[in-house]
Chain A
Amino acid sequence: MDIYKVFKQVGIRQVAYVPDAGHTQLIKSCHADKHMRAISLTTEEEGVAMLAGAWLGGDRGALLMQSSGVGNCINMLGTIRECRFPLLTLVTMRGEWGEFNPWQLPMGQSTPRVLEDIGMVVERVDDKSLIGETVFACAQMAFHTNRAVAVLIGQRVVGFKDWSK
């Protein structure tokens, strides 16, 4: 089950993103869908605020970003927690398995911890075959319990650049 099909199944209408290579196909599919609005952001925290507004208006949304964007969101995630907004975010990981760029390590390695510290439920998936059902399960939890839930998609799944070439 791919992520786009899960989005359709759970009724996602707004998709906010800062691009990551790992989300390329999903972003294309969302832009092509007449019943979805895919919005490119200048920084990830815009997406947190946007999806709060979406929920106020009765829409479900999802935020796509790379792990380096997580740090840009922390204070806005405090608003999500205080208001008990549901939030579904899919985070493609950098700074771990096979990473070649040392600058990615600090945020990548801190990502699960800082998300948990600001009150998010964090699920991690490292097996490609389990991504769809994990996103589905997290969407259900987010939208039915009014909680912020992050799905971390491991760099092992997304793939990494081979620096030896």
Chain B
Amino acid sequence: MANKSTLDRRVAVKAILGERGDSLLVTGLGSSCYDAGTLDHPLTYYLWGGMGGAAMIGVGLALAQPKRRVLVITGDGEMLMGLGSLATIGAEKIRNLSIVVIDNELYSETGMQPTHTSRGVDLAGVAKAAGFATTGTIATLPQLKTWIPQLYNTPGPLFLDIKVNANRYPLSIRLRDGAHIKNRFRESLLGAKAFE
């Protein structure tokens, strides 16, 4: 394995979501969905398909809810499928949007094949070149702890690539009906207006 990080993905996601407050979360599919599922919350929109769409779902949500912070937590494979969306976000300068990539440099759902990030593709570099206000790549928990307040408070768009080790976990979340995930999120956010 090319990736030398010792940081565990579940440790990283737990540290981030422990500080989520009233922010809104969109996950990628696969492991990032399952990671967030260990800390289930009605204001989490779990993506089980539509690979490449997580960041743009975050954009639509951030524009609709300008007073809330929107966090997207996805994987390197999912982000690579939606690289164009980094250009769109950079061009539009979405202020209340943070994108976090849990980067194990692997397609872990499909047999641990290496992704482009294992061969030098620098996602934070792409985000920076696209015009993101704040970008970084980290690989340790102490580094992550200094970034967590920024994820929720620094004017965006913010992009953080977190290198993690190759640990895999069993499926943690049973909730997968798309209409339910959507309706639960909307009812929690919008109350009765969700069903007008």
Interface flags for A59-74 (1: CB within 8 Å of B; 0: not) read: 1010000000000000
Is the pair B60, A52 in contact by a Cβ cutoff of 8 Å?
yes
List chain B residues, Cβ under 8 A from A19: none
Is the pair A79, B193 in contact by a Cβ cutoff of 8 Å?
no
List chain A residues, Cβ under 8 A from B64: 13-14, 53-54, 56-59
Task: Kindly state the separation between the CA atoms of A54 and B56 in the bound complex, as whole angstroms.
Answer: 10
- Interface residues in B157-196 by Cβ distance below 8 A to A read 178-179, 181-182, 185-186, 189-190, 193-194
* Shortest distance between the CB of B84 and any CB in chain A (Å): 3
Is the pair A79, B185 in contact by a Cβ cutoff of 8 Å?
no
By size class, the interface of chain A is 20 to 34
Task: Kindly state the separation between the CA atoms of A91 and B186 in the bound complex, as whole angstroms.
Answer: 28
Task: Kindly state the separation between the CA atoms of A42 and B85 in the bound complex, as whole angstroms.
Answer: 7
Select the residue from B52, B62, B63, B179 with max chain A CB neighbours within 10 A.
B63
Which of B53, B57, B65, B84 sits near A42, CB closer than 8 Å? Answer: B84
Is the pair A49, B53 in contact by a Cβ cutoff of 8 Å?
yes
Which of A48, A52, A57 sits near B63, CB closer than 8 Å? Answer: A57
Is the pair B88, A52 in contact by a Cβ cutoff of 8 Å?
no
Interface flags for B113-141 (1: CB within 8 Å of A; 0: not) read: 00000000000000000000000000000
Interface residue A41 (Cβ < 8 Å from any Cβ of B): yes
List chain A residues, Cβ under 8 A from B49: 75, 78-79, 82
Which of B62, B88, B181 sits near A41, CB closer than 8 Å? Answer: B88
- Interface residues in B62-90 by Cβ distance below 8 A to A read 62-65, 82, 84-85, 87-88
Is the pair A40, B50 in contact by a Cβ cutoff of 8 Å?
no
* Shortest distance between the CB of B99 and any CB in chain A (Å): 13
* Shortest distance between the CB of A18 and any CB in chain B (Å): 11
List chain B residues, Cβ under 8 A from A61: 60
Interface residue A43 (Cβ < 8 Å from any Cβ of B): yes
Is the pair B186, A45 in contact by a Cβ cutoff of 8 Å?
no
List chain A residues, Cβ under 8 A from B182: 55-56, 83-85
Is the pair A57, B189 in contact by a Cβ cutoff of 8 Å?
yes
List chain B residues, Cβ under 8 A from A43: 84
Which of A42, A53, A75, A76 sits near B59, CB closer than 8 Å? Answer: A53
List chain A residues, Cβ under 8 A from B60: 14, 49-57, 59, 61
List chain A residues, Cβ under 8 A from B185: 56
Interface residue A96 (Cβ < 8 Å from any Cβ of B): no
Interface flags for A129-161 (1: CB within 8 Å of B; 0: not) read: 000000000000000000000000000000000
| B residues adjacent to A (C-beta < 8 A) | 24, 26, 45, 47-65, 82, 84-85, 87-88, 91-92, 178-179, 181-182, 185-186, 189-190, 193-194
7 additional contacts, CB 8 Å, given A43-B84, A58-B193, A76-B53?
A: A14-B64, A49-B56, A56-B60, A57-B60, A57-B62, A59-B64, A79-B47
